[in-house]
Structure 1
Amino acid sequence: MDINTHLAERIRNLRKAAGLSLDALADKTGVSRSMISMIERNQSSATAVVLERLAAGLGLSLADLFSVNTATSEPLLRYSEQPVWHDPQSGYTRRNLSPPNAHAALQMVEVIFPAGARIAYETGLRQTPVHQQIWLLEGDMHITVGEQVYIMKQGDCLAFELNCQTAFHNPGQIDARYLVAIHN
């Protein structure tokens, strides 16, 4: 199954499991009912910003949308099996590194963020706090958390709670690559 088909099924199943209609999820997220419907039917490729809004509305992290629920939890996820997704708006690529486990408190994601790219998330408070750390492996990043701008260089690590608006900008001439560790 390709990643967009997985996202379509996952969002639909999570919405239904939460007892939310399309209208109710639209009201919670600010994403239009028609857009949610198109995403759930795999007729539209959602951007990272839209996926983040849907995840927050469902009480999850963005990484949770990419996870696979399995009956068994294998401790090893091979590189070739790690889900990879490309944001059609910003051009960033995310690879979910963590083995599928519905009960894992820690998830790891690798991100390749293109030179000059920007993205902003309107994340607000969640029922369950989501904490993340970003470790910059290559390149430069400017990460804004609320009103604070952090200018990151290779090797820097930033920890914060996803409870306010965040923005990412790669001011450099090369792609930035970083690891995100998410705890919820």
Structure 2
Amino acid sequence: MDISSNMKEIDAPPSASLNDRIAQRVRDLRAARGLSLDALATHCGVSRSMISLIERGESSPTAVVLEKLATGLGVSLASLFDAPAPAADPVARAADQPQWRDPHSGYLRRNVSPGGGSSPIQVVEVLFPPGARVAYETTAREPVVHQQVWVLDGVIDITLGDDHHHLETGDCLAMVLDRPMSYHNPSRKPTRYAVVIATLPSRN
């Protein structure tokens, strides 16, 4: 199955509409948790001024910054791209699936699943450029977020805490997002992989 053509549509920074969607999601999630800008900044390690810019849709944050916000808000990174309301249609058409490019590494991600939080499972497709590297300062979050990375084409090196994994086409890695992690494409061609994310309540 070749889906790479769908991942080549965006060569520009995130559109204003997608920045606005991220802005509203961060505002709504922060309000739902009763957090001030200062409290969220302290909690996630992102400056108050940066969060304010993101919430006004005036910044194109990197994946690392968005992951810090997601961790601080107790959600997955993918959920920051969701529409504000659950999708009425259980089918997410390819043309409507939001795509976003990390301004730092250049990796391109597409939220495949219907948005709005209607399911605890999310599917994301990623096109990772040759030589690119992204490191996340992930920590344990509540609720617990499980993730599996399935390599569709190419290779990817993933470090999770002290564990190192080299994945090739067809390989799949299961993990819990509770430790610092990094992705690196050591090859000279793009790598495509799917990420399946499940958010589960704590057993406590």
Q: Give the TM-score category using the shorter length.
A: over 0.9
Aligned to 1:113: 128
- What SS does the corresponding residue of 2:175 show, helix, strand or coil? strand
Looking at structure 2, the residues matched to 22 and 170 of structure 1 have their Cα atoms a distance apart, in angstroms, of 35
- The answer to whether 1:17 aligns with 2:32 is yes
Q: Deviations over 1:16-39 (max 9, x none)?
A: 121111000000001000000011
- Greater than 2 Å deviation, 4+ residue runs: 69-73
Inter-CA distance 53–158: structure 2 relative to 1 (3 Å threshold):
same
> Which residue is equivalent to 2:20?
5
Identify the range of structure 1 (61-70 vs 156-165) with the bigger mean alpha-carbon deviation. Answer: 61-70
Superposition deviation, residue 73 in structure 1: 3.0
CA RMSD of aligned residues (A): 1.1
Which of 95, 98, 102 is residue 83 of structure 1 equivalent to?
Answer: 98
- State the 1:71 CA deviation: 5.3
| Identical-residue share of aligned pairs (%) | 52
2:185 equivalent to 1:182 = no
Does the aligned pair in 1 maintain the 2:110–2:126 contact within 8 Å? yes
Opposite residue 106 of structure 1, the aligned amino acid is I
Q: Is contact 1:73-1:100 (8 Å) kept?
A: no
Separation of aligned partners in 2, 1:110 and 1:72: 19
In the alignment, residue 154 of structure 1 is paired with which amino acid? Answer: T
Residue of structure 1 in register with 2:142 after alignment = 127
SS in 2 for 1:50: helix
Q: What number of residue pairs does the alignment pair up?
A: 184
Structure 2 segments unaligned to the other structure (5+ residues) = 1-15, 200-204
Deviating more after overlay: 37-46 vs 164-173: 37-46
The corresponding residue for 2:171 is 156
Residue type at the aligned position of 1:99: P
Q: For residues 57-103 of structure 1, what are the alpha-carbon distances to aligned partners after superposition, in whole Å with 9 as ceiling and x for unaligned?
A: 11101011111232553111110000111100110011000012423
1:146 aligned partner:
161
Match of 2:110 in 1: 95
Q: Distance in 1 between matches of 2:154 and 2:86?
A: 39
Q: 2:71 aligns with which of 51, 56, 63?
A: 56
**Shift in Å, 1:149:** 0.8
Amino acid at match of 2:185: N
- What is the distance in 2 between the residues matched to 1:70 and 1:127? 22
Contact 1:74 1:100 (C-alpha < 8 Å) held by counterparts? no
